[in-house]
Structure 1
Amino acid sequence: MAKKDTQQQDSSKVWSIFSLGAALLGATVARKTVTKSWQAATGKNPPANPADPDVDLWEAVLWAAASGTIIQIARMLFSRRAAHYYARSTGHLPPGLGRDNQDPSKSDPATT
């Protein structure tokens, strides 16, 4: 039994490092992509600090919305890809990730 606990802890550590790397890589790629897209669309650099009062409000809001959305989507996609690779490599889902049971025909246990 102790060996199984050690394997689960090792698996959890590997997944933690792997998922962190995937999320950071996804965020970095997305940040560079959204910055280049902003420069191509507006002809100028994105605001360094959208909270700066010298930055137009519309520009700050648009930058925050665009960069936040793109970066979070990229992080999610990279993390999903990492989970898929992990599952293929180990034969099971990463620790903490399980099937969602999103079958609408089943009742929600919280409401019953």
Structure 2
Amino acid sequence: MSHENYQSIIETLHECMTTCNHCYDACLKEEHVKMMAQCIRLDRECADICAYLEQALGRGTPFVSELAQVCAEICEACGNECKKHSHDHCQKCAEECKKLVS
């Protein structure tokens, strides 16, 4: 299957990666950064797996199902953690992560 068949999910993965990277950076600037440690950690994990899956889909990986499952699990964990924080960047991140879970 060519990457054109995955264009919509590739775009969603890219948006999630970008949003998680923004959340990661914004969390590092929060006053109580230690309280944000798990959020920061999961932002990085989520951004990394989304970027990897985006690249893998673009090159036609035969491991789509396996990688998508791992990506969904990490996105769900990241979204659940971000939902716990009232910061706008965390809430936006949670929304983007949710798009990849369903």
* Higher-helix-fraction structure: 2
Structure number with bigger Rg: 1
Q: Per the shorter chain, which TM-score range? A: 0.3 to 0.5
TM-score, length basis structure 2: 0.39
